[in-house]
Amino acid sequence: MNKVHAFIGFCCVILLAVVLSGCDVLVPKKPVRAKPQAEAPAAPAAQAVADKDTPLPDGVIAKVGDWTLTMDEFNQRIDAVKKVVPDFDDKNLETKQMIVDELIRQQLLVQEARAKGLDKSKDVRDAVRDFENNIIVQGLVSDLTKDIAATEKDARDYYDANTELFVRPVEKQLREIVVPTEAEAKDILVQVLQGASFADTAKARSKGKTAANGGDLGFLAEAPFEQMQKAIEGLSKGSPSAVFQGPEGYYLVKVDDVRGGDKVSFEEVKEDLIQGLTAQKQQEAVLGALDAAAQKIQVKVNAALLEK
């Protein structure tokens, strides 16, 4: 319910913001004065009272001036709300009444704006035209792509033709020891080669930021800097590197573990492939229609104006 309230409140805020923020542009510069009349006829007032007492036609939920909201139209709007708020309860009477009230408020403002002639302003007409163009384009794209979808065979063919894309990256778990001098680093290397624990030595002697956790850098697809990357290339699991210089001093690195490098199964990526290939096919259809339209419809651009 809170989500629905927030959504409806948001609609109200946007509606009022659009109306209020556009006042400087939309309101005519000169006030519109009603033409004087000799006398006010009594018939319209009597007619208004009669209309108010007249029951609504079957299937009509609300009527504001010459605007009506039918049950079918209301259900369409409910469906639109459910797309924005998936857990929207369309059986809740209070919530449905709130939506009807909001639509009525909107129509009151719309009809008041039309009475003032604001729908005739250039800004409004331009905005309506742009909105209409967007809806038309969306409709065309939907029509062009409605029957286009990749199949499982398409996904399998792509998978088999691009096997190198479906290999998990190799990651190495690295440990480091960082000390100020090359001589100290070489001394530590000798101790490690003689069987000293790399992790314990890192805790005891490393000056690096990772010393407290035994020099552990975690699993990395690539070392933090170029010199370390070169040092670990071709380094087998469990062996320490040679001493090398880096940003914080002299380093030793050990590869504790290696993971990855295995092939991702087709079943793991099948759905993603189908969705991706469907999007690709649909994009190609739209681009094809665009090229065809460009062949039929003349297009001219004044490039000189763009350069000014």
What pLDDT sits at residue 51?
Answer: 62
DSSP string, the chain: -HHHHHHHHHHHHHHHHHHHHTHHHHS-SSPPPPPP-SS--SHHHHHHHHHHHSPPPTTEEEEETTEEEEHHHHHHHHHHHHHHSTT--TT-HHHHHHHHHHHHHHHHHHHHHHHTTGGGSHHHHHHHHHHHHHHHHHHHHHHHHTT----HHHHHHHHHHTGGGGBPPPEEEEEEEEES-HHHHHHHHHHHHTT--HHHHHHHH--STTGGGTTEEEEESS-SSHHHHHHHTTPPTTPBPPPEEETTEEEEEEEEEEE--SBPPHHHHHHHHHHHHHHHHHHHHHHHHHHHHHHHS-----HHHHT-
Residue whose tokens read 């704006």: 113
CA dist 236 and 257 (Å) reads 9
What pLDDT sits at residue 52?
Answer: 65
What pLDDT sits at residue 84?
Answer: 87
What pLDDT sits at residue 42?
Answer: 44
168-259 folds as Chitinase A; domain 3 (3.10.50)
pLDDT averaged per 10 residues, the chain (length 308): 43 39 35 42 48 82 93 91 85 90 95 94 95 96 96 97 94 96 97 96 96 96 95 90 96 95 95 97 97 94 89
Cβ pair 235, 241 in contact under 8 A: yes
Residues of the chain with CATH 3.10.50.40: 168-259
What pLDDT sits at residue 185?
Answer: 97
Q: Is the pTM of this model over 0.85?
A: no
